[in-house]
Amino acid sequence: MAEGPVRSGKPRGNLPPLEFYVPEPRYRPGDTVDYSHLVIPPAGMVARPDEACEARETWPLTTDLIRVLGDDGRAVGAWNPHLDPETLRRILRMMALTRAFDDRMYRGQRQGKTSFYMKSTGEEAISIACAFALAEDDMVFPSYRQQGILISRGYPLVEMINQIYSNRADRLKGRQLPIMYSAKDYGFFTISGNLATQFPQAVGWAMASAIKGDTRIATSFIGEGSSAEGDFHAAMTFAAVYNAPVVLNVVNNQWAISSFSGFAGAERTTFAARAAGYGIAGLRVDGNDALAVYAAMQWAANRARANKGPTLIEHFTYRAEGHSTSDDPSAYRSAREAEEWPLGDPITRLKNHLVSLGEWSDDQHAEMDRTLAEEVRAATKEAEKNGILGHGLHHPFHTMFEDVFEELPWHLREQADQAIRERRTKWPEWKE
Amino acid sequence: MLEEEPVSLHEAPTRSLNMIEAINEALDITMARDPDIVIMGEDVGYFGGVFRATAGLQKKFGKNRVFDSPINECGIIGAAVGMAAYGLRPVPEIQFADYIYPGLDQLVSEAARLRYRSAGEFIAPITIRSPFGGGIFGGQTHSQSPEALFTHVAGLKTVIPSTPHDAKGLLIAAIEDNDPVIFFEPKRIYNGPFDGNYDSPSKTWKAHPGGKVPEGYYSIPLGKARTVREGSAMTVLVYGTMVHVAEAVLEAKGVDAEIIDLRTLVPLDIEAVEKSVEKTGKCLVIHEATRTSGFGAELVALVQERCFYHLEAPIERVTGFDTPYPHSLEWAYFPGPVRIGEAVDRLMKD
């Protein structure tokens, strides 16, 4: 006879039946938005530990919120990076340029010039302030919503648009979905559609830099939704184990397409707090505060450069627009959310700061916006000379088969011949 | 067996090594030649690998170049992709091919596509070594032959050696190749060739010509098959452990078969395949992996398409059964002498 627990066969006393829990966002379409539950500490309240501190000393910073720009537009507290007005204006300009670019490309998609686009509206401070805090040869492993980094690093807008249009000047030869840029010369790793894969890759790059005794560091960005992927855990574990010189960023914009952040675990803790379990430094920062973002990235980059190891930064922000041109957010969230967002608009906040310093004015800002819109328009016209999607100006046909391998193996040679034969059958006059 | 090798290789002094020693030597030699080669994986560092493939390498090259990793295949391959993007030439190990699946997204979506999607800006010259195949009572998760999952992926090369001599030369070529290579090592023949007769005493590589391994550096080009034995009665397309099983069965049956060890599955040596089948008019495909959608299906299709008018009989395919790899019934599963023998008889009857 078995000697284990005796089975009584009776129901379990008075215990209620188990309940399955499925998170639900606070507001759905038509709901009144009330953000009073969000704890938004005043700017300047959070201490700034030494960059070389023990990872565990950052624990309070993973649940708090690093903020520099107050409601009055002044920069306050230990995290104030004390940037000079010229740098502030450059950051502001890059943020405004990114927004102007997004607006124009969104329209371009609606006009049928390309198949797809993704804006980063409301998140410009994160990519741009981070780019300013990094050295230009630090390697970025971005997600699809860090176009601001590429723009800040001076990558030509025309090249970006060529890629978006998949035209004959597209450096990626029309192989990639629009916005999946790759720009090695600009320290911008090739974007993949597969979420979070770049997180462990960034750690590997940082490990390589350390193996070679280099001084460059790596940084990567994923959304809060993708932090649920196994790659997040892989990256955090490898970063911790090898003390990799890497800054891992989670852009918590509250939404992963139609799923609110609760489906990535946000109801129980912050994303920054996950750092603690790995023994990694963690920071949680107001993602709409360009100065706070800059300061956090600078802190983490200095720490990595000094061989003090990796940092996880959560950028707390809001995805102000749809996930992509294929998405309609009014189907799953209240239209009031973006307007009511308590951390405001990153561009307006930095602008107000510069105005309060007496270094900027509404007129200058309006003039800048006009200039930037013109700059984007001119780049668009330039790129359109190389073709728009589906209008025949694309890369030569055989390039489809190139770069699968370094050299073309026999089976791809045969398939390339077949494709060209098919082409000639359809268009007998076709020449390349 | 060295016909296609350069003259200097003929002249190189050889000695008997088992496959593990040959692999270890390939790693040692390439690491000494190229400071960008790094090895990582579970237990590969201090301990030298659960099969000893990396023994002594950490001591010789230091922890910066040979190091243990967390038990996380996604991390191993993902980090290797990042290292390759930096400019290193990583040679990660996945302890068993059965455990490569957590790293599959990184392999298929990333390593294999990096060159293509970046138009050559970023490449992944990674060689993933992994012991594979059954015949060792490894049960479900230490016996699998998942090569067809990888041959189906555009951008990956898949290489499988069958002798210590080839293992060294192919591994050196794989590491030097600028494309990602899956290097599957048939662990059943790490220590000696296996003829499929599991109840006979095991053999070592000492008496086998494939166990004679030249000293020093040499490489065997990827994409080139090896003719194990010439013949005219039928063509046998085979790789890994099954090369030796096929050889023994055809020898025992006295059939004048031409046995071709494919060595590289992608890119395949299609010329060698066509030339042989056109000569013999019959084709037998053998692999240990499960049958449905296995690599054998691709071989059968290619032979059918390209050699149809030379074929005198239906192409035969001998494989593992379409079940997970069993433990106690291993030898009922394994495509051994009886199953191969039946197929040979059918071909000879036609």
pLDDT at residue B220 above 70?
yes
- Closest to A190 (Cβ–Cβ): which among B78, B87, B114? B114
pLDDT at A2: 64
pTM: 0.96
And the tokens for A138?
Answer: 């630090």
Rounded to the nearest integer, the mean pLDDT of chain B is: 96
Q: How far is CA A102 from the centre of its chain?
A: 14
Among A residues 108-167, those touching chain B with beta carbons less than 8 Å apart: 139, 141
pLDDT at B9: 63
3-state per-residue secondary structure call for B25-88: HHHHHHHHHCCCEEEEECCCCCCCCCCCCCCCHHHHHCCCCEEECCCCHHHHHHHHHHHHHHCC
Is the CB of A192 less than 8 angstroms away from the CB of B113?
yes
Please say if B327 is a catalytic residue: no
Using an 8 Å Cβ cutoff, are A290 and A315 in contact? no
Is the CB of B79 less than 8 angstroms away from the CB of A207?
yes
Distance from CA of B267 to the nearest CA of A (A): 6
Tell me the average pLDDT across B71-75.
98
pLDDT at B1: 40
Is the CB of A197 less than 8 angstroms away from the CB of B178?
no
Is the CB of B79 less than 8 angstroms away from the CB of A203?
yes
And the tokens for A11?
Answer: 């129901």
pLDDT digits over B99-122, tens only?
A: 999 999 999 999 999 999 999 999
Work out whether strand B37-41 and strand B66-68 pair parallel, antiparallel, or are unpaired.
parallel
Q: Sorting pLDDT into bands at 50, 70 and 90, what band is A4? A: confident
Rounded to the nearest integer, the mean pLDDT of chain A is: 96
Neighbours of A116 (CB within 10 A): 15
Tell me the average pLDDT across A357-371.
98
Helical packing angle, A290-305 and A85-110, nearest 10°: 110
B34 reaches A (C-beta below 8 A): no
B274 reaches A (C-beta below 8 A): no
Tell me the average pLDDT across B68-84.
98
pLDDT digits over A56-83, tens only?
A: 999 999 999 999 999 999 999 999 999 9
pLDDT at A391: 86
B259 reaches A (C-beta below 8 A): no
Helical packing angle, A85-110 and A157-165, nearest 10°: 20
pLDDT digits over A107-127, tens only?
A: 999 999 999 999 999 999 999
